[in-house]
Structure formats: C-alpha cells, structure tokens
Structure 1
Amino acid sequence: MNAIFDLLYAVLELYKLVLIVTIIMGWLFVFGVINRYNKVVDTIWNVCTSLTEPVLRPIRNILPNMGGLDLSPIVVFLGILFLQSFIAKDLRPALT
C-alpha cells in the first residue's frame, strides 16, 4: 500500500514541475526571451500545455477576471500541496 502512496506522491511532484515549467515558459514567451518557432521549444510547450490546460481551464472559468493576471496555477499548486499533505499525514497512517 505504501508503494501506491509513494507513486501518487511522485506523480503530484512531477505535475508540480510541469506546472512550473509551463508558467516560466509563458513568461519567457511574453518577454521575448524564447520563441515558439523553435521546434524543441514548441514541442515542450505543447506537451506542458496539454498536461496543464485540462486542469487550469475549469479553474480559470471559476475565478474572476483579474486583467492580465492568471491565478489558476496558484490555485492548482495549492491544491497539489494540500493533496500531498493529506496523503502523507492523514491517508497513509490511517491505511497502514
């Protein structure tokens, strides 16, 4: 049972990493540091957005419009931290 919790915890860690990469790449696009015409950059961007957009889009629909500020990644990041804390402190001791 611990292996399942460890795997779930690791998947959540990887998702946090993909979320951070997506946020940083979005900033780099806006400031013109990298461009999407590079095939490697475009491939990384497409993979990251295809993994994060299904989670971020419903949250964007719920949150009020803040102009150019997107708070949905912060909400997802806090949700992941909550899930990891719940798994580590509450769920694992209760089921082992």
Structure 2
Amino acid sequence: MGSLIQIIFMLLNIVWWIVIIHVIMSWLLNFGILNYNQSFVRQIWTSLERILEPIYRPIRSALPSLGGLDLAPLIVLLGITAIRIIISRNAMYLM
C-alpha cells in the first residue's frame, strides 16, 4: 500500500509542476517575453491547455467572474496540497 501512496504523490507532484509551468508561461506570454507565434511556444502552450482545461473547466464554472483574473490554477494547487495532507495524515489507516 505504501508504494501506491508514493505513486499517488508522484502523480500529484507532476500535476503540481504542470500547473506551475502553465502559470509561469502565461505570465511570460502576457508580458511579451515569449512570442506565441513561435511554433515551439505555441506547441507547448496548446499541450498545457489540453492537459489542464479538463481540470480548470469545472472550477471556472463554479467561481464567479473576476474579469481577467483566473483563480482556477490557485484552486487546483490548493486542492493538490489538501489531497497530499489528507493522504499523508491517513496513510497509517490505509496500511
């Protein structure tokens, strides 16, 4: 059971870093540091959007409209942290 918990933590870490990379890349695109017209940048951005949109969509529909401010990545990161805490606190009961 311990290896299953480690696999879950590894998957949560991967999602965590994908969200962080997506947020940083969105800042770089918005501030004009990265150019969306470059094929490599566009390819990475579209891939990240395809991966994260199914996670973001239900959160965005539940949150009120805040104009240009998107809180979905923050909610996802808080959710991942909460899941980590719940699993680590209850790991002894799962084994």
Q: Which residue of 2 aligns with 1:95?
A: 94
Distance 1:62 1:86 in 2: 23
- One-letter code of the match for 1:93? M
Q: Which residue of 2 aligns with 1:81?
A: 81
Distance 2:3 2:44 in 1: 30
**What secondary structure, in the 3-state scheme, does the structure 2 residue paired with 1:36 have?**
coil
Identity %, equivalent residues: 35
1:1-16 matches, cutoff 5 A: 1-16=1-16
- The runs of 5 or more residues in structure 2 that have no matched partner are none
TM-score of the aligned structures, taking structure 2 as reference length: 0.94
- Runs ≥4 in structure 1, deviation > 4 angstroms? none
Distance 2:53 2:35 in 1: 20
Cα distance, 1:39 vs structure 2: 2.1
Deviations 1:33-72 (A, max 9, x none): 1012222212211221111110101111110011111111
- One-letter code of the match for 2:53? E
- The runs of 5 or more residues in structure 1 that have no matched partner are none
1:17-32 matches, cutoff 5 A: 17-32=17-32
Deviations 1:5-39 (A, max 9, x none): 10000100110100011111111111111012222
**What secondary structure, in the 3-state scheme, does the structure 2 residue paired with 1:12 have?**
helix
**What secondary structure, in the 3-state scheme, does the structure 2 residue paired with 1:40 have?**
helix
Root-mean-square deviation (CA, aligned residues, Å) is: 1.0
Distance 1:95 1:72 in 2: 30
**What secondary structure, in the 3-state scheme, does the structure 2 residue paired with 1:65 have?**
coil
